[in-house]
Amino acid sequence: MALIPLIIAFSAITHTAHGHSSFVRIKTDGEWHKPLQYIRNKTSPYDELKFYESNFLYRYYNWPTYIIDRPESVRCGRDNMNHSQETEVLSVRAGETIEIAHQREEPSSWTDDMFYNCTDDRGSCFHIPGWAQDFIHPGPLLIHLSKVPNGQDIRTYDGSGEWVKIHTLGLTNPRYDQPLNWTLYRKDPPHLTFKIPAQTPPGQYLMRMDVIWSGATNEYIHIGDDGSLAQMYPTCAQLNIQSELKAEFPKGVKIPEIFQPLEPGKCMTTSWDMMNNLKLDENYTYPGGPLWNGEELVIDKPVVLE
Ligand SMILES: *[C@@H]1O[C@H](CO)[C@@H](O)[C@H](O)[C@H]1NC(C)=O
Ligand SMILES: *[C@@H]1O[C@H](CO)[C@@H](O)[C@H](O)[C@H]1NC(C)=O
Ligand SMILES: *[C@@H]1O[C@H](CO)[C@@H](O)[C@H](O)[C@H]1NC(C)=O
Ligand SMILES: *[C@@H]1O[C@H](CO)[C@@H](O)[C@H](O)[C@H]1NC(C)=O
Ligand SMILES: *[C@@H]1O[C@H](CO)[C@@H](O)[C@H](O)[C@H]1NC(C)=O
Ligand SMILES: [Cu+2]
pLDDT by residue (tens digit) across 106-154?
Answer: 999 999 999 999 989 999 987 666 566 789 889 999 999 999 999 999 9
- Inside any domain, residue 304: no
Q: Is 87 in the pocket of ligand 1 (CB under 6 A)?
A: no
* Half-sphere exposure of residue 252: CA atoms within 13 angstroms, side-chain side: 23
What gap in Å lies between CA 289 and CA 236, rounded to an integer? Answer: 18
- Inside any domain, residue 306: no
Query: pLDDT tens across 266-276, in order?
Result: 888 888 888 88
- Inside any domain, residue 163: yes
Q: Supply the pLDDT for residue 211.
A: 96
Ligand nearest to the Cα of 265, by number: 5
Return residues with CB closer than 5 A to ligand 6 (ion). 14, 231
What gap in Å lies between CA 223 and CA 156, rounded to an integer? Answer: 35
Query: pLDDT tens across 277-288, in order?
Result: 899 999 899 999
- Expressed in angstroms and rounded, the spacing between residue 252 Cα and the centre of ligand 6 is 28
**Using alpha carbons only, what angle is made at residue 293 by residues 29 and 65, rounded to the nearest 5 degrees?**
80
- Inside any domain, residue 127: yes
Tally Cβ neighbours within 10 Å of residue 241: 23
Q: Is 97 in the pocket of ligand 2 (CB under 6 A)?
A: no
Query: Residue 51 maps to which CATH number?
Result: 2.70.50.70
Q: Is 44 in the pocket of ligand 1 (CB under 6 A)?
A: yes
In this prediction the pTM is: 0.90
What gap in Å lies between CA 37 and CA 89, rounded to an integer? Answer: 9
- Inside any domain, residue 193: yes
**Using alpha carbons only, what angle is made at residue 263 by residues 262 and 264, rounded to the nearest 5 degrees?**
110
What gap in Å lies between CA 107 and CA 140, rounded to an integer? Answer: 24
Q: What is the rounded radius of gyration, in angstroms, for the C-alpha atoms of the chain?
A: 18
Q: Supply the pLDDT for residue 272.
A: 80
Give the nearest ligand 4 atom to 179 CA: 13
Does residue 224 register a pLDDT over 80? no
- Expressed in angstroms and rounded, the spacing between residue 136 Cα and the centre of ligand 6 is 7
Q: Which domain holds residue 43?
A: 3-298
Q: Of residues 11 and 298, which shows the higher confidence score?
A: 298
Q: Is 267 in the pocket of ligand 5 (CB under 6 A)?
A: yes
Number of domain units in the chain: 1
- Expressed in angstroms and rounded, the spacing between residue 118 Cα and the centre of ligand 3 is 10
The mean per-residue pLDDT over the stretch 16-43 comes to 92
Ligand nearest to the Cα of 218, by number: 5
- Inside any domain, residue 303: no
Tally Cβ neighbours within 10 Å of residue 260: 15
Ligand nearest to the Cα of 85, by number: 2
* Proportion of the chain above pLDDT 90, given as a percent: 63
The residue among 181, 134, 147, 155 whose CA lies nearest residue 280 is 181
Q: Supply the pLDDT for residue 18.
A: 66
What gap in Å lies between CA 148 and CA 144, rounded to an integer? Answer: 13
End-to-end Cα separation, the chain, in angstroms: 44
- Expressed in angstroms and rounded, the spacing between residue 27 Cα and the centre of ligand 1 is 20
Give the nearest ligand 1 atom to 83 CA: 14
SS3 track for the chain: CCHHHHHHHHHHHHCCCCCCCEEEEEEECCEECCCCCCECCCCCCEECCCCCCCCCCEECCCCCECCCCCHHHHHHCCCHHHCCCCCCCEEEECCCEEEEEEECCCHHHCCHHHCCCCHHHCCCCCCCCCCCCCECCCCCEEEEEEECCCCCCHHHCCCCCEEEEEEEECECCCCCCCCCCECCECCCCCCEEEECCCCCCCEEEEEEEEECECEECCCCCCCCCCCCCCEECCEEEEEEEECCCCCCCCCCEECCHHHCCCCCCCCCEECHHHHCCCCCCCCCCCCCCCEECCCCEECCCCCCCC
- Expressed in angstroms and rounded, the spacing between residue 234 Cα and the centre of ligand 2 is 19
